[in-house]
Structure 1
Amino acid sequence: MKTPEAVLKPTLQLQRLTREAFAPFGDVIELEGARHFPINGGTTERYHDLARVDVADEGGRPLVNLFRAQPHALPLDIAMMERHPLGSQAFIPLTPCRYLIVVAPAGELDCTQMRGFWTDAWQGVNYAKGVWHHPLLALDRVSDFLVVDRGGDGRNCDEQTLPQPWRLVFAESVEIPA
């Protein structure tokens, strides 16, 4: 039985992350379907140009970081979003991990335009400059990510509290690969 709180809380349906569905918000970083070719005498396969790194505004420079995300339990409610108006931000899992993504178009935050996704164990994402997103939402266990984003002068992180929490729900019954 649903509690009165659950009935009144708006829900955001999560769908499988695909390049096509995520395109308005940035890039999906994955091997499947990527342009690739052999290098180094055929000993290595290069998967080429997987994301548009956009960090040059106001003299910015690329930063390479490691983020360690704490796991979240389901069901999950979100209450805030953030954006980086001066640069893109890419998250690439270092080991297979399940995580959720919540995004909204750049500009003024419009909760009715939020989209939610679940990843397979190896997909990364690159949020385009100015796209609203929720901070990392790892599932199951502590998860490490390689993060490429912007360093330099200028304010590059805006946070906004949502008018009310949103409950993340799966659009269909899914078994997220681990």
Structure 2
Amino acid sequence: MRARRLTPEAYAPYGRIVAAAGGAKDANMGTARRWDRLAPLVNKRARAKANLCVFRCKPFKGKAFPVKLLERHAKSTQVFLPLAGAGRCLVIVAKGGAKPDLSTLAAFVMEGALGVSYHPGTWHHPMVALGKASDLACLVYEDGSKADCEVVALKAPAVVNLG
């Protein structure tokens, strides 16, 4: 599989792209512009609380990335936003129910000021930084239980071509 450019249309089955684009309004007495409701934030568990955290992703420098596992947050959206200085990241996603549907496996390159949101239940690989370490802010609803994140090992690795 080849990693492709991240576009709203191609990514829509898996979540939303988070970007300062489209309709904005003036805010803070005209000193800023504000974009609202960029992605739905879903929490389907009463005891789960919002967790705003930062991931420091180690760089992958190869031309072919082996996908050995996928994970999902069945009851929560998960949002990743690049922090200043973040490089390109590989976003690997699949639809599915209790198990991922590997026929829907897709890979995208997230770069610049773009972020992503995963719909609840979207299978995905942990974020992969390409070329250099990158810090990403993350928002997910968690309660500390095993239901926060389900992980499935793939029987055979899928390969994402980056070259």
Q: How many angstroms does 1:47 deviate by? A: 1.4
User: What is the match of residue 166 of structure 1?
Assistant: 158
The equivalent residue for 1:124 is: 115
Q: Secondary structure of the residue that 1:125 maps to in structure 2?
A: strand
Aligned length: 159
Can you give the 5+ residue segments of structure 2 that lack an aligned partner in the other structure? none
Aligned partners of 1:143, 1:98: CA distance in 2, in Å?
8
Q: Does 1:138 align with 2:129?
A: yes
| 2:3 aligned partner | 14
- The one-letter code sitting in structure 2 at the alignment partner of 1:101 is V
Gaps of 5+ in 1: 1-11, 174-178
Provide the secondary structure at the position in 1 that maps to 2:40: coil
1:98 aligns with 2:97: no
2: CA distance, partners of 1:122 / 1:136? 16
Structure 1 Cα separation of the partners of residues 37 and 44 of structure 2: 17
Decide whether the 8 Å contact of 1:25 with 1:128 is kept in 2.
yes
Q: Secondary structure at the residue paired with 1:59? A: coil
Structure exhibiting the larger radius of gyration computed from Cα positions: 1
Cα distance between partner residues in 1 of 2:112 and 2:62: 17
User: Identity, % of aligned pairs?
Assistant: 30
**TM-score computed with the length of structure 2 as normaliser:** 0.91
TM-score normalised over the length of structure 1: 0.83
Determine the C-alpha separation between the residues in 2 that align with 1:62 and 1:106.
24
Q: CA RMSD in A?
A: 1.5
